[in-house]
Amino acid sequence: MRLPVYSSRFYRNLFYRLTILGFATLFLLFAGKYLYYIWNNLQIGNIWFSDFLAVFDCARAPDIYDRSKLDAFQEALGSQHFPCPYPPSFYFLISPIGLLDFYSAYAAWILGTFALYLAVSCHRKQSRWATFIILFAPATVLTFAFGQTGFLTSALMVGGFRWIANRPVLSGIFFGLVSIKPQVGILIPIALISARLWRTSTLTGFRSSVTAYAAK
């Protein structure tokens, strides 16, 4: 016996809504777990759990590429030994947070890069579910928890691809800045050349060169 069309549509919609509710619940539970994790560590003054400490050390250390000096600087802070795996252009971007204390720098880094990520990821016609995923996806929560570079890198890549057709100059600037993560940045020119986007590809290379030179 076949179900009426309206009944079949009802069950499909119900299944769709329950699936969304299930994923939303999992995302919120995951976010709650790590928010408690952050709160608990900050309450006891444990700042060593955060990957941001490596970024903070790179912003304040006198010579981030001299391993002995970097180790000595980190030992003076009571920190673990974190190498600086980023190119000089990254130091050029993060140096302002080195003027702040750890907690202020952490807040400025996370909130600033998240605001940039949110600005380039959202648009007027976006569904509420898409906005929810941007805000509460596990990758978003983990970046908040550990202070990684995910928001910055994602914002630069999303912004580059978003404006690649209408604003090639702005797109090239964003893609050029992705070179702060060489393992990611090296793929961008390959994609642009493959798509025959010569103007954006040229601007990407130029922007990477300018940033690298300015960081010397």
Domain spans, the chain = 51-214
The closest alpha carbon to 94, from 62, 57, 119, belongs to 57
**Spatial distance between the Cα atoms of 117 and 123, rounded to a whole number of angstroms:** 12
In the chain, what percentage of residues exceed pLDDT 90? 2
Query: Is the per-residue pLDDT at 104 higher than 80?
Result: yes
CA distances from 34 to 11, 89, 140 (A): 35, 31, 11
pLDDT number for residue 1: 47
Rg (CA), the chain: 21
What dihedral do alpha carbons 177, 180, 181, 185 form, nearest 10°?
Answer: 40
User: In this predicted model, which residue has the larger pLDDT, 216 or 144?
Assistant: 144
